[in-house]
Structure 1
Amino acid sequence: MERIVDYFEHIPSAHRSLLLVGGIAFFWLLESIVPLVRFDYHKPRHAGINLFFTVTTILVNFTLAFVLVNTSDWAVARHLGLLQWVPMPLWVQAITGLLLLDLIGAWLAHWTEHHVKWMWQFHSVHHSDQYVDTTTANRHHPGESVIRFLFTTLAVIVVGAPMWLVFMYQAFSVLLSQFNHANIELPRWADRAIGWLVVTPNMHHVHHHYVLPYSNTNYGNIFSIWDRLFSTYATRSGKDLVYGLDTHPHPREHSHIGGILKVPFQPYRAPVGEKESKLSEV
């Protein structure tokens, strides 16, 4: 375990870049071979739009990285946070820390973005994608990237996470997000086997259905336990899903970078559609 800790404590920037680029490339090729949905779209152009937002996310996180590093060092130096208060072996620290960082930095951030109108305005950019694939994982408005960063920083303080744990969490977060957005569907047995631990494409695609109540379910990023615990878990057959938003159907608002960037600053649009429908179990 000490070797793993040492690796993530000093993880080279090249390795972090490889996780991002290699993950996108792998899942992009995989979904081209065995797609869940055979979209009628220009895949490279669609990827280009989402990769633009990948770059803006990287720029935001790189610009604010010093805040995260200093926050982690500050919390550890002052013995703040759960991991600093309760002595535990390194492997327990890793599991506990990953769970709590995922809960606060991902699940809570995501849930909040769906329930606070001005945050939803930024997050709706992510949901406006009508062709959900692995590149959608990084389709975040720069404003949302800042919001997510603030939640991650809060999580670091609450957990008392050292930087090796933060880097480990970010690595898992990147890979799992690319995996669960990928345009693939696991066999039922495989989904059931690993879906009790991590968020699968079968699970997360439901969250991208274009209307309520499904878009307000399955908020998880790494671990599926949080949605099961907080009763926000839902299932629906992949063939019955329609991606995008019922409030933003026009191509200029979901398929053109200039229009997408303006979406958060438009008047709020209340969601419509299947508000009264029941969550189905399949």
Structure 2
Amino acid sequence: MNEVIAYFSTIPSSHRSLILVGGITFFWIVENTFPLFQMQYKKWHHAGINFFLTLTTIIINFLLAFILIKTAYWATENHFGILQWLPEIPILLYTLIGLLLLDLIGAYLPHYIQHKIKFLWRFHIVHHTDTWIDTTTANRHHPGESVIRFVFTTLGVLIVGTPMWMVFLYQTLSVIATQFNHANISLPNKLDIFLSYFIVSPNMHKVHHHYVVPYTDSNYGNIFSVWDRLFGTFTTLSKDKLIYGVDTHMMPEENNKLKNLLKIPFQKSRSIKNS
């Protein structure tokens, strides 16, 4: 574990980029070999839109990274936050608690709030407009949402009192987890169900991308599935009933044009329907 801490304490930016690109490449190959759905779409055009939005997320996180670093440094130096107030415990348990709490405050909570507050939903809806969910969808976020997510991540680091090496570890696991659970891959059903007791499995997250509520408003988890199960937001839906997208933006000119996607938060809001 000391080696892991040492690595993530000084992880180069090139390694973080390699993990992002390597993950997309790996799951891209796997989903083409073992697809959940045989989707008829222009894969490179679709990927181009999502890669552009991924790039904007990377740029925003890079420009604001100093805030995250200073927050983590201040919390550890001033012994502020949940982890800093814990008695001495084994490092593995310490790490697990930290990752779970970061996942709760920095991922599950903002995701839930974005579905409940109309102003925030205006930005998050861009992620849900994707009607062809694959591994490139993982970072399909409007630049405005990237800023919102960063704010909550920073808040999580402060409340949890997370050292910077754990922040880097969490972000690495988050990238891999989101690429995995968005990937258009077909896992044996029993394996997917088993995984969903611990982490957000592909079939579990695909339910969140069903085009109508209450399914859209469920399965908010990022890495760990415990929070959905604990807070009663976990649900299931047979894959043969899945329809991707969001019912307010099902037309291709709305959900498959980058120019319109960037405009959506500033357009007149539309009410979603119940199933």
Same fold, judged at TM 0.5 (above): yes
Gaps of 5+ in 1: 275-282
TM-score by length of 2: 0.98
Task: Output the CA distance in 1 between the equivalents of 2:139 and 2:269.
Answer: 23
Match of 2:139 in 1: 138
After alignment, is 166-175 or 235-244 more displaced? Answer: 235-244
Task: Output the CA distance in 2 between the equivalents of 1:98 and 1:238.
Answer: 30
Match of 1:170 in 2: 171
Match of 2:53 in 1: 53
Task: Output the CA distance in 2 between the equivalents of 1:48 and 1:158.
Answer: 36
Query: Is structure 2 residue 13 aligned with structure 1 residue 7?
Result: no
**Cα offset, 1:269, TM superposition:** 0.8
Note if contact 1:121-1:263 (Cα within 8 Å) is conserved in structure 2. Answer: yes
**Amino acid in structure 2 at the alignment position of 1:132:** I
Task: Output the CA distance in 1 between the equivalents of 2:68 and 2:173.
Answer: 17
Task: Output the CA distance in 1 between the equivalents of 2:133 and 2:21.
Answer: 18
**Amino acid in structure 2 at the alignment position of 1:142:** P
**Cα offset, 1:192, TM superposition:** 2.4
Gaps of 5+ in 2: none
Match of 2:69 in 1: 69
1:197-247 CA deviation, whole Å, 9 max, x = no partner? 100001000000000110000000100000000000011111210001110
Match of 1:218 in 2: 219
1:236-278 CA deviation, whole Å, 9 max, x = no partner? 111210001110122222111110000001111110141xxxx
**Cα offset, 1:56, TM superposition:** 0.3
Q: How does 1:1-282 map to 2 (within 5 A)?
A: 1-87=1-87, 88-274=89-275
**Cα offset, 1:3, TM superposition:** 1.1
Task: Output the CA distance in 2 between the equivalents of 1:192 and 1:273.
Answer: 26
**Amino acid in structure 2 at the alignment position of 1:160:** G
1:76-118 CA deviation, whole Å, 9 max, x = no partner? 1111001111132321221000000000111001000000000
**Cα offset, 1:12, TM superposition:** 1.5
**Amino acid in structure 2 at the alignment position of 1:75:** A
After alignment, is 80-89 or 110-119 more displaced? Answer: 80-89
SS of residue paired to 1:215: coil
**Amino acid in structure 2 at the alignment position of 1:171:** T
1:46-81 CA deviation, whole Å, 9 max, x = no partner? 001100000000001000000000000011111100
Task: Output the CA distance in 1 between the equivalents of 2:127 and 2:103.
Answer: 19
SS of residue paired to 2:248: coil
Task: Output the CA distance in 1 between the equivalents of 2:222 and 2:199.
Answer: 8
After alignment, is 244-253 or 154-163 more displaced? Answer: 244-253
Task: Output the CA distance in 1 between the equivalents of 2:265 and 2:102.
Answer: 27
